[in-house]
Amino acid sequence: MKALRVHGPKLLKFDEVDEPQIEPDEVLLRVKYAGICGTDLHVYRGAMKDRVKYPAIPGHEFSGVVVKVGSKVTWVSEGEEVVANPVVPCGRCVACLSGRPNVCVNFKILGVDIPGVFAEYVKVKGDKIYKIPKGLSLRDAALVEPFSVAVHSCRKANIEVGDVVVVIGQGPIGLCTTQVAKHYGAYKVITVDVVGSRLELSKKLGADEVINPLETDPVKVVKELTNGVGADKVIETSGAPQVLNQALSMLRPAGRLVVVGLCFEEVKFFSYPIVYKEAEIVGSRVYIDEFARTLNLMSKRYLKPEPLITHEMSLSDGEKAFKILDEKPGEAVKILLRP
């Protein structure tokens, strides 16, 4: 089969590789659509070289069709349209045993630790499979993974009807989060980003107010929009190191900050506002049981993936797609590859 493989930092090749052979508890899927996300860019750039073994097939956001079914898998059949949770926890560590497999200390993920979905075929564990509901296309279903990240973070935020919610960063995860926060009943969703086109898109997807930090002070604007009180919830998706102090400053007393964006730099901030406001700071990592919830929301059109898909390209053009995201980050939101 054909696969897009990373052979080293920023070195991609469209290779011929062996088709995966499934075990009795696995399913072989023909990949129909695969999305490029931030983790894939980290693999491409070499930021995860201590974990990734080259050559590696990246990719974990996708939809596909069942081709082969292992003898122990009885709940799906050949020809069915499905998605799959790409996270494989160990099932034995303290996190897994306490019902938090998303923070498993040993977890593996497609496209990083095991061969990913930028290929014609991929094999996954049968218990990770979800059937795509009627009314939801394979193309749209390919975005269930980033939307599940957003659903999980909004659940961690404990968004209540009438809340003012700030979403910092309007990349793919931030744009998904904006939609989910609005659906969860936020009275006002305020989005923050330095790319004007993404702020415009967030307005179309439900944002009530948008702020560009290059043009104005986001903390000041949030305070003005909340009569000096601050936001009930702030969800940080950008990963920018300077943003956490801003997020704390725009939070109301007893508010909650949810940190989703990955930052690989040391971050310094004052503890005073945390204590003074009795603020809650919560991390949010991937998802637990959100795939089924998210598929239902997407099938009912409460969440809209198609505005996020700015490019659709052949897998053979994968190198071009990665260069767009790496060198021109404001040009694309979500790029789908078709094997």
Choice among 39, 178, 237, 294 that is catalytic: 39
The residues, ordered by sequence, that sit 6+ positions from 260 with a Cβ below 8 Å of its Cβ are 149, 153, 173, 177, 235, 236, 237, 284
Nearest to 139, CA basis, from 305, 331, 307, 300: 305
Annotated active-site residue 39? The verdict is: yes
Give phi and psi for 68, each to the nearest 5. Answer: -135, 150
The residues, ordered by sequence, that sit 6+ positions from 123 with a Cβ below 8 Å of its Cβ are 20, 21, 22, 26, 27, 28, 29
The residues, ordered by sequence, that sit 6+ positions from 187 with a Cβ below 8 Å of its Cβ are 161, 162, 163, 164
Choice among 42, 60, 152, 178 that is catalytic: 42
The interaxial angle of helices 290-299 and 144-157, nearest 10 deg, is 110
Give phi and psi for 32, each to the nearest 5. Answer: -100, -45
Annotated active-site residue 183? The verdict is: no
**Three-state secondary structure call for residue 313:** strand
**Could you give the residue numbers annotated as active site?**
39, 42
